[in-house]
Amino acid sequence: MKLLASLTAVLLALAGTVNAQEVKIALDSAPDVARSGSYVFAKALGDHLKSAGFTVKELPVNSIGGEAERLDQTTQGLLEVNLADLARAAQLNKLTFGFSMPYLFESLAHLDKADAAGGLLAKVNEGVTPKGARVVALMAVGGGTGIFNTKREIHKPDDMADLRIRALDENQMKLFKAWGTNGVVITMPEVANALQTGIASGYINPPFVPFLFGHGSILKFYTAANVSQPLRAAMVSEDWYKKLPADRKAAFDAGVAKAVAANREWVKTSDAQAYEQLTKAGIKITQLTPDNRKTFQDRSRESWGAILSPQEVKLFVDAAAKAR
């Protein structure tokens, strides 16, 4: 009996070690290193983990469910790494929305410096980790977001007064209201039809998005407004992460650092390539004058208080100021 008990203990210990070594990464896009910034992150992370002795399995987008299902599996400890939209982390702690506040961060580099200066991601995780997950990195999926539409060149908010812009969520709806235009929440699979039928006149996205989702022949105008930095969240199961042995946790953290670096390098060239595609597709590109950009900035600040509390807004504003 003692021998059997000892063997059982050894087998359980070995099973725990094997489980700790397996990392499933739930993808949020096609495995395309040319067009998907989040996949650049996933591949760099996976490659490093494999070299460190982990077993890595990529799960194709939506193969285990949509955003909500993947978040549930992450918080329950069934999924090690989940590449999610920012709203999933915000579902656990709304402070996450601070990273997408319009016209707060001038660039991705500015956002990264502000995060380092203010410990912003650490503060977000204070509300996320008790709920079973952890945001280990912010993945950029392009440079600053701009305004696409089917009707006209947009130089200032008043040019959008009679347009109806597709909104990602209620936060964007509040932003459009501050600009003096109309919004309508539409899921991405329905956007093409909405643009073609006139239900929506356009959307806010990085410049490569029309070509990733087949809207390049529908949209006619793009304003390089640099509204916000387009981000997604790399989340892990907190239960799994906490149980990693110290050396395995260090290896995983090193992989995340390499993946973030690879993602940031990708961003440097992604916009230039996307602008070439915009020009080739006949989409007119408009640059904002400094005065018109300031008008967008001033009106956008009205939406900040609708997204976060004054104290939460101040946390991000102060960090952004320190990083300038």
CATH class of 2-141+231-270: alpha beta
Indicate if 146-228+274-322 has the same CATH topology as 2-141+231-270: yes
pLDDT digits (tens, 9 = 90+) for 60-78: 999 999 999 999 999 999 9
Please give the Cα distance from 141 to 139 (Å, whole number): 6
Which residue in the block uniquely carries the two structure tokens 């949209």?
219
Average pLDDT over the chain reads 92
What is the pLDDT at residue 307?
Answer: 85
Q: What is the torsional sign of CA 186, 158, 161, 314?
A: positive
Asked which of 8-12, 160-164, 204-208, 293-297 is least confident by mean pLDDT, the reply is 8-12
3-class DSSP state for residue 185?
strand
Please give the Cα distance from 127 to 180 (Å, whole number): 34
Angstrom CA distances, 4 to 1, 9, 71, 109, stand at 5, 9, 39, 58
pLDDT at position 5 over 80:
no
Q: Could you tell me the two tokens for 298? A: 């001033």
Look up residue 198 and give its DSSP letter.
Answer: T
Q: Could you tell me the two tokens for 173? A: 């709806």
What is the pLDDT at residue 140?
Answer: 96
Asked which of 41-45, 185-189, 192-196, 314-318 is least confident by mean pLDDT, the reply is 185-189
What is the pLDDT at residue 15?
Answer: 40
Please give the Cα distance from 143 to 146 (Å, whole number): 9
Amino acid identity of residue 77, one-letter, is G
Q: Maximum Cα–Cα distance for the chain, whole Å?
A: 82
3-class DSSP state for residue 323?
coil
Which residue in the block uniquely carries the two structure tokens 């992150």?
41
Please give the Cα distance from 104 to 107 (Å, whole number): 9
Amino acid identity of residue 309, one-letter, is S
Say how far residue 256 (Cα) sits from the centre of its chain: 15
Do the beta carbons of residue 202 and residue 149 sit within 8 Å?
yes
What is the pLDDT at residue 20?
Answer: 59
Residue extents of the structural domains in the chain: 2-141+231-270, 146-228+274-322
Do the beta carbons of residue 313 and residue 118 sit within 8 Å?
no
pLDDT digits (tens, 9 = 90+) for 192-249: 999 999 999 999 999 988 988 899 999 999 999 999 999 999 999 999 999 999 999 9
pLDDT at position 253 over 90:
yes
What is the pLDDT at residue 8?
Answer: 33
The CATH number of domain 146-228+274-322 is 2.70.150.10: no
> Model-level pTM?
0.87
Look up residue 149 and give its DSSP letter.
Answer: E
